[in-house]
Amino acid sequence: MSAEEIKAKAEAKAKAVDPKEVTVDIATVEMLKKAAADGCETIFDRALTMKPCNIGEQGTCCKNCAQGPCRLPLTKKQTEGKDDRKGLCGATPETIAARNFARMVAAGAAAHSDHGRGVAEVFLAAARKETHDYGIKDAEKLLEIAPDFGVATTIVVDGEEKERDIYEIAEEVGVKALGQWGQQDGEIYYAKRAPEARYELWKKLDVIPRGIDREIVEIMHRTHMGVDQDYHNIVKQCSRAALADGWAGSMIATDLQDVMFGTPYPIQGEINLGVLKADHVNIIVHGHEPLLSEMIVVASQDPEMLSYAATKGAKGIVLAGMCCTANEILVRHGLPIAGNYLQQELAIVTGAVDAMVVDVQCIMENLANLAMCYHTKVITTNPRAMIESGDTLHIEFDEHNALEDAKKIVKAAIDNYTNRKAMPLIPTAKEKMVVGFSYEAINYHLGGTFRGSYWPLNDNIINGRIRGIGGVVGCNNARTMHDSAHLIVVKELLKNDVIVLTTGCNAMACGKAGLLTPEAAKVYCGPGLAEVCETVGIPPVLHMGSCVDNSRILMAATQVVKAGGLGKDISDLPAAGCAPEWMSEKAISIGQYFVASGVYTLFGVTLPVSGAPRFQKHLFEELEGIYGGKWDLVEDPYEMAHRMIAHIDKKRKALGLDKAKERVLMDMADRQKLDAA
Ligand code: MSK
């Protein structure tokens, strides 16, 4: 071997991924070893060789006009002396970082809300019976949400009050819901769902969204060269657009999906790559929109499709989910999850996936290249999301012909079963879990059918058995160890009697680690929380769905406020939220709507604000004085959990709950007394 070859080999080895250093998940370790043995590259390899840009990471690179990019890194010179950094137009680091941050909010809010718009369009088509494949599954939820849109559920005929036809109500709700995107003035309907004190604060601050699209477009205008040059004012518009996401685009998506496909209630499921089966056709649905996955569920269980699979020698069809689509089909059908964001390539590496069916968001372009190393067909389905790389198949999914299109997709997967190149290698790792805790399900579980209420939760927070509530959500990020920070934060919270609400890839990390079972309470929780979970029979980590379903967390927080005894606003609650491994722009929009809703919100890994100290101070400190919620960045997950706990304790103290109290039976008058305190 020549000296150059030895050097090249040493360099390659030095850059090779050590699976145990990049993930805590054993199935991922196994598949990373297989990928290396197969000579296939994954995101874990690319993260080793490509490092983030130092200036972009600080948020201070401006490329909003052709005189730049203007790069304004914060160096020792500015921190120790005068900070006179300016772009060509004079833009300060604060203006630049705030504009970049705002554009992330806009992109994130647009992604969630465009998903919501698609749902509203199909909902309206279903209400008008223009499509036969979708209908109304949860009429009760429709009747609950209709008044929020000002839609009457009854009608007076000949002096007698009668129930209106459910499809007539649905049509009116659909028209009004869809109108929220193009609305120019006034307020989004759901702003009034927030606790009264929060609604009044938003009104005073003039941040109630007028319409969804309008607020997103306005961010793009304000961040154009030479428009809004005051970071305070830019952040104010971030709040409007983010609230339009959380309390409109995402919340409408969640609600209408529930009406069409069913509101989630606790159900068992399984998770990790071990859910795939070597002798079955394996189809993975990956992305976000249940409009597609719900129909693939139906098609994959169709007797005609199962017989067709048998003709190819397969024993059946496994339909598993990936990323947030996985959460959608899991919480409604108990269908298995193959993995979270950083496992998407590794599912293909098993050699067992006959089709990876994708729609929108969180889909890595490299899936298409990787699929060429194996036999997997990557099937794109959405006209908004095509892949140029590799050899993908596009089968457009038309909601008016949904089931037929879904069958075409399933058939393409079955046809590919016989093209497998080698014996698949499927990890054995998989875990059982109990999921599907919509805020309605939590209500039912705590209070029962006849007395559904959040009061038992409040009662246990007041008596100190439960210290507080932690929302732990968000993605995986290849810049940090896969699932590690998620699990450290959650376990630390549980140990300290903090009940956890989860969505997205965090929910999946928790599932893989066995935290989504009622039995986990005894193993991981402090004595108070363990006692409550064991008595009620719930897991200590409540899986609430996908990332649009963070709106369910907003509603759960609102229900807690309304149940009484814990203050008048979300910002009074002993609660905090975090995204320990975030990566997508949607996370920034989610973070901003939680902050503007009054929640202390911590992000891990990085935040592109460090190059603009005054802007960072505004997000990390000053916003608390305005909204009662603020941003924070903490890389160490133990520290993150303990800052959340310290905040929870601060709120307990403000409510006079800093000492554990004996359980007392309270009536409404007692609760009102607490609220007035
Ligand atoms: S966003 S939570 S990477 S799926 Fe739903 Fe994507 Fe996971 Fe973030």
pLDDT tens track for 347-364: 999 999 999 999 999 999
Q: Which of the listed residues 371, 387, 419 is the one where a domain comes to its end? A: 419
- Nearest Cα residue to atom 6 of ligand 1: 362
Does 326 contact ligand 1 (Cβ within 6 A)? no
Q: Quick check: 367 pLDDT over 50?
A: yes
Residue-wise pLDDT for 478-497, tens only, equals 999 999 999 999 999 999 99
Tell me if 254 is assigned to some domain.
yes
Answer yes or no: do 537 and 452 share one domain. Answer: yes
DSSP annotation of 189: G
pTM: 0.94
9 vs 237, residue with greater confidence: 237
Residue-wise pLDDT for 546-586, tens only, equals 999 999 999 999 999 999 999 999 999 999 999 999 999 99
Q: Please state the rounded mean pLDDT for residues 55-73.
A: 96
Q: State the pLDDT at residue 115.
A: 96
Ligand 1 mutation target, pool 285, 362, 367, most atoms within 8 A of CB: 362
Tell me if 532 is assigned to some domain.
yes
Answer yes or no: do 344 and 384 share one domain. Answer: yes
The backbone torsions φ and ψ at residue 283, rounded to the nearest 5 degrees and listed phi first, read: -120, 130
**Facing residues of 143 across strands?**
none
The backbone torsions φ and ψ at residue 395, rounded to the nearest 5 degrees and listed phi first, read: -120, 100
Residue 441 sits at the vertex; the CA angle it makes with 439 and 443, to the nearest 5 degrees, is 70
Q: Which of the listed residues 261, 294, 326 is the one where a domain comes to its end? A: 261
Does 364 contact ligand 1 (Cβ within 6 A)? no
Specify the amino acid at residue 489: V
Answer yes or no: do 310 and 352 share one domain. Answer: yes
Answer yes or no: do 244 and 299 share one domain. Answer: no
Does 590 contact ligand 1 (Cβ within 6 A)? no
| Number of independent structural domains in the chain | 3
Does 603 contact ligand 1 (Cβ within 6 A)? no
Ligand 1 mutation target, pool 113, 293, 345, 361, most atoms within 8 A of CB: 361
Q: Which atom of ligand 1 is nearest to the CA of 324?
A: 4
Residue-wise pLDDT for 162-197, tens only, equals 999 999 999 999 999 999 999 999 999 999 999 999
Tell me if 624 is assigned to some domain.
yes
Q: Which atom of ligand 1 is nearest to the CA of 476?
A: 3
Convert 111-172 into a string of H (helix), E (strand) and C (coil): HHHHHHHHHHHHHHHHHCCCCCCCCCCCHHHHHHHHHHHCCCCEEEECCEEEECCHHHHHHH
Answer yes or no: do 299 and 242 share one domain. Answer: no
Answer yes or no: do 188 and 287 share one domain. Answer: no
Answer yes or no: do 242 and 292 share one domain. Answer: no
Tell me if 340 is assigned to some domain.
yes
Q: State the pLDDT at residue 662.
A: 47
74-79 long-range contacts, CB within 8 A, separation 24+ = 74/610, 74/611, 74/612, 74/613
Does 362 contact ligand 1 (Cβ within 6 A)? yes
Gap between the Cα atoms of 164 and 242, Å rounded: 35
CA of 474 to the centre of ligand 1 (A): 6
Answer yes or no: do 277 and 414 share one domain. Answer: yes
Q: At what angle do helices 439-447 and 455-462 cross, to 10 degrees?
A: 70
User: Nearest-CA neighbor of 104 among 471, 627, 589, 497?
Assistant: 589
- Nearest Cα residue to atom 4 of ligand 1: 323
Answer yes or no: do 369 and 465 share one domain. Answer: no
Q: Quick check: 378 pLDDT over 60?
A: yes
CA of 251 to the centre of ligand 1 (A): 17
- Domain containing 561 equals 431-676
- pLDDT category, 666, cuts 50, 70, 90? low
Answer yes or no: do 456 and 588 share one domain. Answer: yes
User: Nearest-CA neighbor of 492 among 529, 458, 456?
Assistant: 529
Answer yes or no: do 282 and 321 share one domain. Answer: yes
- pLDDT category, 399, cuts 50, 70, 90? confident
Q: Which of the listed residues 201, 235, 261 is the one where a domain comes to its end? A: 261
Burial (CB count <10 Å: 0-12, 13-18, 19+), residue 246: buried
